[in-house]
Amino acid sequence: MNATYKYFRDIYLGVTTVSLGMWITFRHFFMPTITVQYPREKLIYPPRARTELRNAIESCNGCLQCARACPVEIIHIETAKAQDEDNAGNMPDGKPRKLLVLTFDVEMSKCVHCGLCVEVCPTESMHWNNEHEHVTFTREELMRHWATYPPEEVRRLQERDEILKAEKAKQAAEAAAKKAAAGDQPAPKPVSKPAADGAEKPAQPSAAAATPAIEKPAKPESGDGTDSPQKENGKEKA
């Protein structure tokens, strides 16, 4: 190959490849940016993204469905029955609150983000909050406490609940004992049901009376055995 030709060809290739590279770079000045300047800028996740778990505790009715659905059993809920004195208010759907959610703790360090607790929650209080910054310095900080009752109030309400449950169990036991005592009395005689025309139905014959007696064939007298040979399995027995 001619040396002069090779010289100018190399110059041509150098200029065109650098121009092409610079053109690709230059194009990006006019394209929408994809990267974000984290942490000053943050991405908005799609609505169903499993980001960080949250519970809107005011909407939680304490049904325990999320705790039952959790495959790693990291949701711990304690409830107490709401009484009139608690003024527990209403749920977001307008129905009166029946249970007080005393504790609602989630061990987020063990969460596998399966989303089952969100799926089963009937009040949609369990949800993803479209954030992901749950980095902490210790594992204990990843324990989420979403109930708002102070510890002494939790103890008081638990004790009250225990007392009420014991009273209810006592009342149920007394009612059962009364029922059992009433069951010892002789049962009232059944009254025969009148027929449609007012006449009493004749008494049904008993099964034994309705079944005709079957005469059993007389047992052959034991002789020399030649008259009535015994059969077993289709073979004559001597």
Contact set with ligand SF4 (CB under 6 A): 53, 55, 60-66, 69-70, 72, 74-75, 77, 106, 111-117, 120-123, 125-126
Distance in Å, CB of 155 to ligand SF4, minimum: 21
Distance in Å, CB of 51 to ligand SF4, minimum: 11
**Type of residue numbered 123:** T
Nearer to ligand SF4, 121 or 157 (CB): 121
Nearer to ligand SF4, 115 or 158 (CB): 115
Distance in Å, CB of 148 to ligand SF4, minimum: 14
Distance in Å, CB of 52 to ligand SF4, minimum: 10
Distance, in Å, from the CA atom of 79 to the CA atom of 120, rounded to the nearest integer, reads: 18
**Degrees (nearest 5) of the Cα angle 171, 175, 176?**
115
Distance, in Å, from the CA atom of 8 to the CA atom of 15, rounded to the nearest integer, reads: 11
Nearer to ligand SF4, 64 or 163 (CB): 64
Are 134 and 108 a contacting pair, CB within 8 Å?
A: yes
Rounded to the nearest 5°, which phi and psi values hold at 109? -65, -20
Distance in Å, CB of 153 to ligand SF4, minimum: 19
Question: Mapping DSSP to helix (H, G, I), strand (E, B) and coil, where does residue 104 land?
Answer: strand
Nearer to ligand SF4, 113 or 168 (CB): 113
Distance, in Å, from the CA atom of 153 to the CA atom of 159, rounded to the nearest integer, reads: 10
**Degrees (nearest 5) of the Cα angle 141, 144, 148?**
125
Nearer to ligand SF4, 103 or 158 (CB): 103
**Non-local CB neighbours of 238 within 8 Å, separated by 6+ positions:** 229
Nearer to ligand SF4, 28 or 110 (CB): 110
Distance in Å, CB of 61 to ligand SF4, minimum: 5
Return the H-helix or E-strand segment holding 126: strand 126-128
Distance in Å, CB of 82 to ligand SF4, minimum: 14
Nearer to ligand SF4, 108 or 160 (CB): 108
Q: Within 13 A of 50's CA, how many CA atoms are on the CB side? A: 9
